[in-house]
Amino acid sequence: MPKSAGIDVQTTGAPQRLHATDAASTTGRRPGRRRASTPRVAWLLGPALVAGVAYLDPGNVASNMTAGARFGYLLVWVVVLGNIMAWLIQYLSAKLGIVTGQSLPEVLGARMRNRWGRRAYWLQAELVAMATDIAEVIGGAVALNLLFNVPLLWGGLITGVISLALLIVQSRRGAKTFEFVVIGLIAIIAVGFTFGVFIGPPDPAGVIGGLVPRFEGTDSVLLAASILGATIMPHAIYAHSALARDRFVPDGVRGIPTGRLLRATRWDVSIAMLIAGTVNLCILLLAAANLAGVPGTDTLEGAYHALWNGIGPAVATLFAVGLLASGLASTSVGAYAGAEIMHGLLHVRIPLIARRLVTLIPALIILGIGFDPTLALVLSQVVLSFGIPFALIPLVWLTAKNEVLGTFRNRWGTTAAGVAASVFLITLNGVLLWLLLSGA
């Protein structure tokens, strides 16, 4: 079958992309040998793992480490709940990209008729992407400082240069090669952040008690919002739809039915979220079990030195190595998301490398003026938390619409879960804002 076999058909009133095997089934023709050459499920995995690196960025490390050091096991439930919501959200994002062949910013850009409204939406999304960049560059700089005593400003520059190299790989070698590189960094991250839990294990009773939802004052709410902002990251929602589009839509002409792509995507998202959730939980438990009540451990530097003195150099070194890999991997995904946001909403495409250079500046300014890196990381995650509704509400709305996804639209239960997640996150942000303004 020629490469033009991917065609548009009308299904329940919505334009749907029909893959080669779908076309064969509707015309009565047998797909023949085409089915034998269809890639296995394992070969279809990858986009969610790349998007999932956003859940393992330095902002996550700072938020979870600070939460564990200051409040022990209190916010375990926030990490678990955030990961459950993240599974649903990332799957919906990938589904939108696969079925429509467009990213979330592209779909929104085509539907927003008011030019100024579209620009305002782009501005908030761009600020979220910049907050992400700040967190990732700062995290890499802190890791280089801990490992090699590199000054923070120079560490930020080095992190930026290495991230440029990763973006060059993505632009020149394609999505699959980029996925392999990022997955390799994820493996380093996982080892670096989970090793310490086996050396200094948490208290099982404390972990179980931490599953009960509750807060203890304004600071715990602030950290909960920070954890959720770091777990359910707006730029990951924008990026995943684009990653799925880039990976699967060109391959759709190879005879892979949309339904099979979505089944593979569910596995992809499940694996990615299992890894991210486990690592994030281990970071909090490591701090809760070994750093709670220890002075100065609410910063990355203090946590590193406390781990060195309390558990041993091996744990502390692996922690710093994981932090470095986290910064390098996530900063490239953040730049990819930012470029997609600009292209989809403003219809302007700038080279990823140029964007990386521009968004590096705010992080270098923060490092140069001597602002507390850990505080900057935590605050950046709060900014991300406030950006979640602007990405999540349109995602749930679009994936529930028959005219957008046709037969692949959300079932009512899926839409209800998405609405519940949106309401919860918006309510948490509202409570946080009220507590901060009232000085409670």
CB contact at 8 A, 261 and 119: no
Model confidence over 282-321: pLDDT tens digits? Answer: 999 999 999 987 887 778 888 899 899 989 999 999 999 9
Complete domains list, the chain, with CATH: 44-438 (1.20.1740.10)
Distance CA 299, CA 138 (A): 13
Phi, psi of 18 (to 5 degrees): -105, 120
pTM: 0.83
**Is residue 181 pLDDT above 50, yes or no?**
yes
**Is residue 21 pLDDT above 60, yes or no?**
no
With vertex at residue 383, the alpha carbon angle to CA 380 and CA 385, rounded to the nearest 5 degrees, is 115
Model confidence over 332-375: pLDDT tens digits? Answer: 788 788 888 999 999 887 776 677 777 788 888 999 998 888 78
User: Which candidate, 274, 228, 253, 230, places its Cα nearest to that of 45?
Assistant: 274
Q: Which residues contact 65 (CB under 8 A, 6 or more apart)?
A: 283, 284, 286, 287, 291, 297, 298, 300, 303
Model confidence over 262-284: pLDDT tens digits? Answer: 998 999 999 999 999 999 999 99
Distance CA 116, CA 135 (A): 29
Residue 318, CB half-sphere, CA atoms under 13 Å: how many? Answer: 19
Model confidence over 203-243: pLDDT tens digits? Answer: 999 999 999 999 998 888 888 887 887 678 888 899 999 98
Number of Cβ atoms within 10 Å of the Cβ of 4: 8
Segment 65-77 shows an average pLDDT of 94
Phi, psi of 410 (to 5 degrees): -60, 145
Q: Which residues contact 344 (CB under 8 A, 6 or more apart)?
A: 102, 103, 104, 105, 106, 107, 108, 109, 238
